[in-house]
Amino acid sequence: MRRVVIVGASLAATHAIEALRQEGYQGDITLVGAEPHLPYDRPPLSKAALQDGPDTTELLLRPPQWYVEHAVDLRLGQPATALDPGLRRVTLEDGTELPYEGLVIATGSQARSLGPADQGVPVNTLRTLDHCLTLHEQLAPGRHMVVIGGGFIGLEVAATVRRMGLDVSVVEMAPVPLTRVLGDEVGHWFSKYQEGNGVRLHCGSVLDGMEPSSGGTRVRLLDGVSLSADLVVAGVGARPATDWLEGSGLALSDGVLCDSSLRTAAPGVVAAGDIVRWYNPLFDEEMRVEQWSNAVEQGRHAATTLLGTDEPYAPVPYFWSDQFDAKMRFVGRANAADHVHIERSDESSLVALFGRDGVIRGALCVNAPRQLAVYRKAILERIPWGDVVRNDG
Ligand SMILES: Cc1cc2nc3c(=O)[nH]c(=O)nc-3n(C[C@H](O)[C@H](O)[C@H](O)COP(=O)(O)OP(=O)(O)OC[C@H]3O[C@@H](n4cnc5c(N)ncnc54)[C@H](O)[C@@H]3O)c2cc1C
């Protein structure tokens, strides 16, 4: 193989490049990115970088020199618009056609919009460095921010700006935040924690509409509540950036469908990061995860698959979230748990375990880092639920 193209210049791509070179690949590497920036880190965008203002140099995943040392041909600010797997060719927005022998698809996720509700009023989203800069410039103590959506990004933004002295209201459709993924008990803990830090939560509330009003935005909820906002942030989730692959013949279904080694059905095409839906044999489940450590590991794994190995990618997923002083760490899966056990819960810490089909599958620890490794091992070894949780009916 002499020519690899990687589309999507971010976390998974950087680690794919690193693995290709470490494994001895000496051919061409072309990195295509829609954004004008070198690959940068996203988790700080809802945390320190939002508070202090994003520093483009500090956020870079690798310094500019690294791309020279790794002989990477950079095509930044140039989205890919089409893929022809038959001809093994990627087309860019300016009409450039890039032939490849190996292709890594790493175009990640993009923020969902509110749909018709955000017509005619300024609504912020938070996915890119430029979004973070735009949002940061609007932050000033005393201003009122309304966050639509009480998921992790919404709650992190709420925590960051509340600490900066803004008033914050979070509107969440579910009766408690995070409940869909983590269940009611965990959701209630985060509700209480956020409210204890001065964030106002409007749960079980559906957005009815928004309109401009005296220098800001009036946010109307279906239950009749009306909120006057200086700025609005939509934190309503992300969707895989697969638009450019429509018509390519690749199987797309909430992500790019891959086998357990991260290969697509097209010859020489693998995928990595937020965009991948693959079968994880450890959990006997097809999954797509939007998590930092997954993008790192999948970037590396997809690169070695491209070079000819055939190992299944079977990790215990891991992610973190920081809100005020709560450092949450999660390992495994919580979806469709048939048992949730609260191991510990107090004002500042929480440990919750998630079981399904008789084994432990997930563990959430807030300000309890040491337990995480123990539960990760238990998940990996598929330890019976009854051995991990002795007093759970
Ligand atoms: C604000 C924020 C906070 C986060 N915090 C955490 C956290 O605390 N913990 C955690 O585990 N995870 C967190 N994440 C998630 C984590 O950052 C992602 O899982 C990770 O960035 C995924 O990496 P990726 O390389 O797959 O894709 P992405 O980082 O989404 O990058 C994809 C890149 O592809 C580019 N692209 C898209 N379409 C095209 C195209 N057609 N042509 C060329 N380029 C294209 C995009 O512009 C983007 O640069 C956070 C994410 C965000 C946005």
Closest CA to 276 of 296, 292, 293, 253: 253
Asked if the model's pLDDT at residue 160 lies above 90, the reply is yes
How many CB atoms neighbour CB 293 within 10 A? 15
- Which of 176, 204, 234 is the last residue before a domain boundary? 234
> Mutation test of ligand 1: which of 274, 287, 297, 301 has the most ligand atoms closer than 8 Å to its C-beta?
274
The answer to whether 313 touches 263, Cβ cutoff 8 Å, is no
Going by C-beta distance under 8 Å and a sequence separation of 6 or more, which residues neighbour residue 339?
Answer: 353, 354, 355, 356, 385, 389, 392
User: Does the residue 319 lie in any domain?
Assistant: no
Complete DSSP assignment for 48-64 = HHHHH---HHHHBSS-H
State residue 383's pLDDT score. Answer: 95
Same domain, 213 and 294: no
For the residues 274-303, what does the mean pLDDT come to?
97
Same domain, 222 and 148: yes
State residue 393's pLDDT score. Answer: 46
Same domain, 334 and 274: no
Share of the chain above pLDDT 70, in %: 98
Closest CA to 264 of 301, 302, 295, 291: 302
Gyration radius (Cα) of the chain, Å: 22
- Which of 271, 306, 341 is the last residue before a domain boundary? 306
- In the beta sheet, which residues pair with residue 342? 352
For the residues 121-145, what does the mean pLDDT come to?
97
> Mutation test of ligand 1: which of 11, 38, 62, 287 has the most ligand atoms closer than 8 Å to its C-beta?
11
Which ligand 1 atom minimizes the distance to the CA of 46? 1
Beta strands 167-172 and 276-280 are unpaired
State residue 392's pLDDT score. Answer: 53
Q: How far apart are CA 103 and CA 205, in angstroms?
A: 44
Q: How far apart are CA 158 and CA 201, in angstroms?
A: 10
Residue 101 Cα to ligand 1 midpoint, Å, equals: 25
- For ligand 1, residues with CB inside 6 Å are 7-13, 32-35, 42-43, 45-46, 79-80, 106-109, 126-127, 153, 241, 244, 273-274, 290-292, 295, 319-321
Q: Which two tokens stand for residue 313?
A: 């990618």
Complete DSSP assignment for 249-295 = ---BSSSEEE-TTSB-SSTTEEE-STTEEEEETTTTEEE----HHHH
State residue 172's pLDDT score. Answer: 97
Q: Which two tokens stand for residue 158?
A: 């709420």
> Mutation test of ligand 1: which of 42, 110, 278 has the most ligand atoms closer than 8 Å to its C-beta?
42
Complete DSSP assignment for 76-88 = ET--EEEEETTTT
Lowest mean pLDDT, pick from 59-63, 177-181, 254-258, 289-293: 177-181
User: Does the residue 25 lie in any domain?
Assistant: yes
Position of tokens 């309503």? 236
Same domain, 128 and 218: yes
Same domain, 223 and 243: no
User: Does the residue 129 lie in any domain?
Assistant: yes
Beta strands 80-84 and 89-92 are antiparallel
- HSE on the CB side for 162, CA within 13 Å? 23
Closest CA to 103 of 303, 341, 244: 303
Helix axes 292-306, 11-22, angle to 10 degrees: 40
Same domain, 360 and 271: no
Q: How far apart are CA 278 and CA 309, in angstroms?
A: 17
DSSP alpha helix (H) spans, 89-151:
129-136
State residue 391's pLDDT score. Answer: 60
Residue 300: which CATH number?
3.50.50.60
Same domain, 226 and 270: no
Same domain, 98 and 246: yes
- Give pLDDT tens digits for 234-250: 999 999 999 999 999 99
Confidence of residue 369 (pLDDT cuts 50, 70, 90): confident
User: Does the residue 318 lie in any domain?
Assistant: no
Residue 338: which CATH number?
3.30.390.30
Coil, helix or strand at residue 7: strand
User: Does the residue 315 lie in any domain?
Assistant: no
**Closest residue by CA, ligand 1 atom 30:** 108
Which ligand 1 atom minimizes the distance to the CA of 275? 26
**Closest residue by CA, ligand 1 atom 28:** 108
Q: How far apart are CA 88 and CA 267, in angstroms?
A: 9
For the residues 138-157, what does the mean pLDDT come to?
97
Same domain, 175 and 132: yes
Residue 366 Cα to ligand 1 midpoint, Å, equals: 24
State residue 214's pLDDT score. Answer: 85
User: Does the residue 81 lie in any domain?
Assistant: yes
User: Does the residue 313 lie in any domain?
Assistant: no
Residue 60 Cα to ligand 1 midpoint, Å, equals: 13
User: Does the residue 317 lie in any domain?
Assistant: no
Same domain, 143 and 160: yes
- Which of 208, 234, 260 is the last residue before a domain boundary? 234
* Domain extent for 355: 325-388
- Give the count of domains, the chain: 3
Same domain, 177 and 263: no
Q: Which two tokens stand for residue 270?
A: 């693998």
Beta strands 226-229 and 276-280 are unpaired
Amino acid at position 47, single letter: K
Going by C-beta distance under 8 Å and a sequence separation of 6 or more, which residues neighbour residue 194?
Answer: 155, 158, 159, 170, 177, 201, 323, 324
Same domain, 105 and 65: yes
Sheet containing strand 200-203, strands side by side: 123-124, 231-234, 144-148, 167-172, 200-203
Asked if the model's pLDDT at residue 182 lies above 60, the reply is yes
- Give pLDDT tens digits for 39-51: 999 999 999 999 9
